[in-house]
């Protein structure tokens, strides 16, 4: 039986493609539900006044969660939401929202 070069090439790159896809789209974090109520599951805000989180830089999102939790950012609802989160929870949420596609310019500010 003869195997084409194309088949061999696909078999050779498949593990790399799968690994990249796993990094590019993380699994939804366990704590997503609380955040999604206002910010949307995909980071596109669902209520007026809630910022869109989709596509924001990971470090920015993680830092913001730390600042909400420790009271540097004085938003009571966010302090309450971030308060019980572990470091691992916050990292997972920041990764999730950073990996989402940003809102299109016409979508910004629309729930």
Q: Which CATH number fits domain 28-99: 1.10.10.10, 3.40.50.300, 1.20.120.140, 1.10.760.10?
A: 1.10.760.10
For the chain, the structural domain boundaries read 28-99
Query: For residues 93 and 31, is the Cβ–Cβ distance under 8 A?
Result: yes
CA separation for the pair 37, 22 (Å, rounded) = 25
What is the reported pTM? 0.72
Query: For residues 69 and 31, is the Cβ–Cβ distance under 8 A?
Result: no
52 Cβ partners below 8 Å, 6+ apart? Answer: 39, 40, 43, 44, 45, 102, 103, 107, 108, 109
- Per-residue pLDDT of the chain (111 residues), as tens digits, is 566 665 555 566 766 555 454 456 678 999 999 999 999 999 999 999 999 999 999 999 999 999 999 999 999 999 999 999 999 999 999 999 999 999 876 555 554
CA separation for the pair 74, 44 (Å, rounded) = 22
Tens digits of per-residue pLDDT, 59-87?
999 999 999 999 999 999 999 999 999 99
């Amino acid at each position: 039986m003869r195997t084409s070069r194309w088949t061999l090439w696909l078999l050779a790159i498949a593990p790399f493609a799968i690994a990249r896809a796993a990094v590019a789209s993380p699994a939804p974090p366990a704590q997503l539900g609380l955040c999604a109520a206002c910010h949307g599951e995909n980071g596109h805000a669902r209520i007026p006044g809630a910022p869109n989180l989709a596509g924001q830089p990971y470090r920015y999102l993680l830092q913001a969660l730390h600042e909400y939790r420790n009271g540097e950012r004085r938003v009571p609802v966010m302090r309450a939401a971030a308060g019980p989160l572990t470091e691992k929870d916050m990292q997972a949420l920041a990764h999730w929202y950073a990996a989402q596609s940003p809102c299109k310019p016409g979508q910004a500010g629309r729930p």
